């Protein structure tokens, strides 16, 4: 089969991990007889530098017409001025919105050989296999009004946590449908004891739960959820939550897996076109050194094969190769090892 993939390497370690992931995809293409056509474009800080905009209209249009978008990471100290008109992160948010990818799937699995890389006790990590579904195009990130002004002689800043019923329903329905292929349990995370938006969130969770009686639904407040992720993570299966709650909880959950560098994500909307990116950032401190862990991006490309292209066998081949590589003891610096990005990727390709 033939697929068009737009690559957005972005900033920091982004270009290094995307280049290596492309070699994995090319190996898959050769082995299974597919053609992947790559178009590489700028997005984030590099796009501000070149075009004066973190996401140009042309780049967004190209991403919208591609079969899938594979992204490295954006941001860095160079573009961190709080007064700047544009920021790398704005481009990423505009891309998510422009692609309509309202659900961000972040699987968190603990590889048995990596339990010692996590600061948690090994017995807590036994059997951890969580799928966090983060709402991605609404909530606190996008609600209106938003901005700064001066009111009553005081400087003021406003962000709004806003949700429409349909925005909650579509991500909730996806959570329930994905739970059917897993342990048939959904944990809906909110702050319904304080926030009006969370009370609507919970109301819709209950409605969708009633339509899916085969799935167990539980509600957890976000503060409790953050504690239980550390004290009893094996108790969770599918978690569905608001945009910012999901942002925070998935960084926390990455500690379970031993390193942020391990975790992939898939952002999906109504169509087949998805956005795939590791959950980690651009890691400016190690950019250019060739030592970043490529696994989060390589596993994101596996999610792309599965969710956007329907290539389940090929996706599983990548995931199994990563598993086997970790089992064999290959480690980049974030996992306490010595392998470079290229060496780690070569080990994975060897096992494909
Ligand atoms: C993430 C990142 C982004 C987010 C940033 C870079 C805007 O932290 O994908 O989790 O907050 O969504
Ligand atoms: Mg984040």
Is 32 an annotated catalytic residue?
Answer: no
Could you tell me which of 78, 45, 12 has the C-alpha nearest to residue 261?
12
Q: What is the pLDDT of residue 129?
A: 96
Residue 269 contacts residue 101 (beta carbons within 8 Å): yes
Is 164 an annotated catalytic residue?
Answer: no
Q: Where are the domains of the chain?
A: 1-101+264-352, 119-257
Distance of alpha carbon 212 from alpha carbon 189, whole angstroms:
18
Q: Domain 119-257 in CATH: superfamily?
A: Isopropylmalate Dehydrogenase (3.40.718.10)
Q: How far is the CA of 27 from the centre of ligand 2 (A)?
A: 30
To test the pocket of ligand 1, the residue of 71, 281, 282, 297 to mutate (highest count of ligand atoms within 8 Å of its CB) is 281
User: Which region among 117-121, 274-278, 336-340 has the lowest average model confidence (pLDDT)?
Assistant: 117-121
Q: How far is the CA of 251 from the centre of ligand 2 (A)?
A: 6
Residue of minimum CA distance from atom 12 in ligand 1: 247
3 state SS of 86: coil
Could you tell me which of 169, 345, 304 has the C-alpha nearest to residue 240?
169
Mean pLDDT of 326-339: 97
Q: What is the pLDDT of residue 82?
A: 85
Residue of minimum CA distance from atom 10 in ligand 1: 247
> 252 CB under 6 A from ligand 1?
no
Could you tell me which of 113, 111, 136, 141 has the C-alpha nearest to residue 254?
111
Q: What is the pLDDT of residue 280?
A: 94
Which CATH code of 3.40.720.10, 3.40.718.10, 3.40.50.300, 3.30.70.270 fits the domain covering 1-101+264-352?
3.40.718.10
To test the pocket of ligand 1, the residue of 72, 247, 277, 283 to mutate (highest count of ligand atoms within 8 Å of its CB) is 247
Residue 101 contacts residue 174 (beta carbons within 8 Å): no
To test the pocket of ligand 1, the residue of 72, 89, 250, 296 to mutate (highest count of ligand atoms within 8 Å of its CB) is 89
User: Which region among 58-62, 82-86, 316-320 has the lowest average model confidence (pLDDT)?
Assistant: 82-86
Q: How far is the CA of 304 from the centre of ligand 2 (A)?
A: 20
> 247 CB under 6 A from ligand 1?
yes
CA distances from 23 to 30, 100, 107 (A): 11, 28, 23
Q: How far is the CA of 328 from the centre of ligand 2 (A)?
A: 30
- The string of pLDDT tens digits covering residues 66-75 is 999 999 999 9
- The string of pLDDT tens digits covering residues 104-151 is 999 999 999 999 989 999 999 999 999 999 999 999 999 999 999 999
Task: Exactly one of 11, 67, 141, 190 is catalytic; name it.
Answer: 141
Q: Do domains 1-101+264-352 and 119-257 have the same CATH topology?
A: yes
Mean pLDDT of 47-69: 98
Distance of alpha carbon 255 from alpha carbon 278, whole angstroms:
14
Length of the chain: 352
For residue 272, pLDDT over 90 is answered with no
- The string of pLDDT tens digits covering residues 67-98 is 999 999 999 999 999 889 999 999 999 999 99
Question: What is the position in ligand 1's atom list of the atom closest to the CA of 265?
Answer: 9
Average pLDDT taken over every residue of the chain: 97
Is 149 an annotated catalytic residue?
Answer: no
Residue 298 contacts residue 317 (beta carbons within 8 Å): no
The ligand with the least distance to the CA atom of 264 is 1
Q: What is the pLDDT of residue 83?
A: 87
Could you tell me which of 132, 168, 139, 70 has the C-alpha nearest to residue 256?
132
Residue of minimum CA distance from atom 7 in ligand 1: 89
């Amino acid at each position: 089969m033939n697929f068009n993939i737009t690559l957005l390497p972005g900033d920091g370690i982004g270009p290094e991990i995307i280049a290596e992931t492309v070699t994995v995809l090319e190996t898959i293409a050769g082995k299974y007889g597919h053609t992947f056509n790559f178009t590489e474009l700028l997005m984030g800080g590099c796009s501000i530098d070149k075009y004066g905009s973190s996401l140009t209209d042309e780049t967004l249009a190209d991403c919208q017409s591609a079969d899938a978008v594979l992204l490295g990471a954006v941001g860095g100290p160079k573009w961190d001025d709080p007064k700047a008109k544009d920021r790398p992160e704005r481009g990423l948010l505009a891309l998510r919105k422009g692609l309509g990818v309202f659900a961000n799937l972040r699987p968190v699995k603990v590889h048995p050989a990596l339990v010692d890389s996590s600061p948690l006790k090994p017995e807590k990590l036994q059997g951890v296999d969580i799928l966090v579904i983060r709402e991605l195009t609404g909530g606190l990130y996008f609600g209106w009004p938003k901005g700064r002004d001066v009111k009553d002689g005081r400087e003021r800043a406003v962000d709004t946590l806003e949700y429409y019923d349909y925005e909650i329903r579509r991500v909730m329905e996806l959570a329930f449908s994905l739970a059917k292929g897993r342990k048939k349990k959904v944990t809906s995370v909110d702050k319904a004891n304080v926030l009006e938006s969370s009370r609507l969130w919970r109301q819709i969770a209950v409605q969708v739960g009633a339509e899916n009686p085969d799935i167990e639904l539980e509600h957890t407040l976000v503060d409790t959820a953050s504690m239980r992720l550390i004290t009893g993570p094996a108790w969770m299966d599918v978690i569905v939550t608001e945009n910012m709650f999901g942002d925070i909880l998935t960084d926390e959950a990455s500690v379970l897996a031993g390193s942020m560098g391990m975790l992939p994500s898939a952002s999906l909307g109504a169509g087949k076109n998805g956005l795939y990116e590791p959950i980690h950032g651009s890691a400016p401190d190690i950019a250019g050194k060739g030592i970043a862990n490529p696994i989060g991006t390589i596993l994101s490309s596996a999610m792309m094969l599965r969710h956007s292209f329907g290539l389940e066998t090929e996706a599983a081949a990548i995931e199994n190769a990563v598993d086997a590589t970790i089992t064999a003891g290959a480690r980049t610096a974030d996992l306490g090892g010595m392998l470079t990005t290229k060496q780690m990727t070569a080990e994975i390709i060897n096992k494909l």
